[in-house]
Amino acid sequence: MIIKNLEKYNLKGRGGASFPVWLKWNEVQGSKSEKKYIICNASEGEPAVFKDGYILENYPDEVINGIKIALTTINNSSAIIYLRKDYYKKFKIKLKKLIGKSPIELRKKTCGYLCGEETTILESLEGKREEPRNKPPYPSESGLFGYPTLINNVETFFCVSKIAKGDYKNTRFYSISGDIKNPGVYELPENWSIKKILNKTDNFPAFNFFVQINGGAGGEIFNNEELSITVSGSGAILVYNFEKAKPLSLINQWLNFFYNENCGKCVPCREGILRLKEILAEKKPNLDTIKDILFALKETSYCALGKSVPIPIESLIKKIWII
């Protein structure tokens, strides 16, 4: 019944990819295996995304209930909550009380941003080098220790609980930050536009601005004429003052983040990011070379980290920093 309701409400994952939740649940439930795993991804490593921490602070009972529903839905299963280090320290006592005797284990995140990627979580939990796996097979087919594995993030399990109780109102949590008056996490309808969200939260700037959506590193840039779109994925909105923001500094900030967080596994990501940093340090950066490297990152990187690098840079150059 719960899987049918997940499909009915068209619930999509709230971790970034927006994949239909019921499809994952259906595949793991239907697989024939002596053992299955459920993982709640609470690693939340993208800059400007902090709503899962807010949910664990304020609604941990709903998250645990969502995981318990998954345990009763998926036979032969046990669960793991994979927590960012500070979340583990802050919430472990509260979560253990809520877990009680349920087969749910708390595990501390062992690396940085990349351990938020679902297959890297699997490598981490198996005690291997923390880098992404080939897909396919997907975790729902062959996940933790080769067993079918369901991976959803904190907010997704929160929504599952709400749907099961009949309390789901088609809302989502938005992390709102940047050059605004009232930064924070807000629960609002999922079909609201950026403009409506900023107005409702009294965060619509009186100055010329632009926004970055779904994260302060890999999120796409939108100017203030594109505010009618809705926010999917991780639900983050980061506001920049057009007059204060320095495009070159922003790009260097993003590149430094990706440079420090990449695993070094694939050449396009490892060498491409380094080369971009070198070019942008030159007096006259070659824009054509930058575009070529971004194209290579987008098309040939092994995982989503490298493929994410071009998203903010290309959109910033196109919409804000016209060069």
Check whether 323 has a pLDDT greater than 60: no
Check whether 15 has a pLDDT greater than 90: no
For residues 46 and 89, what is the distance between their CA atoms, to the nearest angstrom?
Answer: 19
Average pLDDT over residues 249-260: 93
Q: What is the pLDDT of residue 305?
A: 82
Q: What is the pLDDT of residue 267?
A: 87
Residue closest to 236 by CA, chosen among 173, 171, 180: 173
Q: In which element (H, E) is residue 260 found?
A: helix 247-261
What is the torsional sign of CA 139, 144, 150, 151? negative
Report the predicted TM-score, pTM, of the whole model to 2 decimal places: 0.94
- Sequence-ordered list of residues with C-beta below 8 angstroms from that of 323, at least 6 positions apart, any chain: 287, 317
More confident residue, 111 or 235: 235
pLDDT tier, 269 (very low <50, low <70, confident <90, very high otherwise):
confident
pLDDT tier, 13 (very low <50, low <70, confident <90, very high otherwise):
confident
Check whether 296 has a pLDDT greater than 60: yes
State yes or no: cis peptide before 137, omega within 30 of 0: yes
Check whether 112 has a pLDDT greater than 90: no
- List, for residues 78-95, the tens digit of each pLDDT value: 999 999 999 999 999 999
pLDDT tier, 50 (very low <50, low <70, confident <90, very high otherwise):
very high
Domains of the chain and CATH, by start: 2-165 (3.40.50.11540), 171-241 (3.10.20.600), 247-319 (1.20.1440.230)
For residues 76 and 73, what is the distance between their CA atoms, to the nearest angstrom?
Answer: 10
For residues 282 and 292, what is the distance between their CA atoms, to the nearest angstrom?
Answer: 17
Q: What is the pLDDT of residue 191?
A: 94
Q: What is the pLDDT of residue 322?
A: 62
Q: What is the pLDDT of residue 169?
A: 94
For residues 247 and 145, what is the distance between their CA atoms, to the nearest angstrom?
Answer: 44
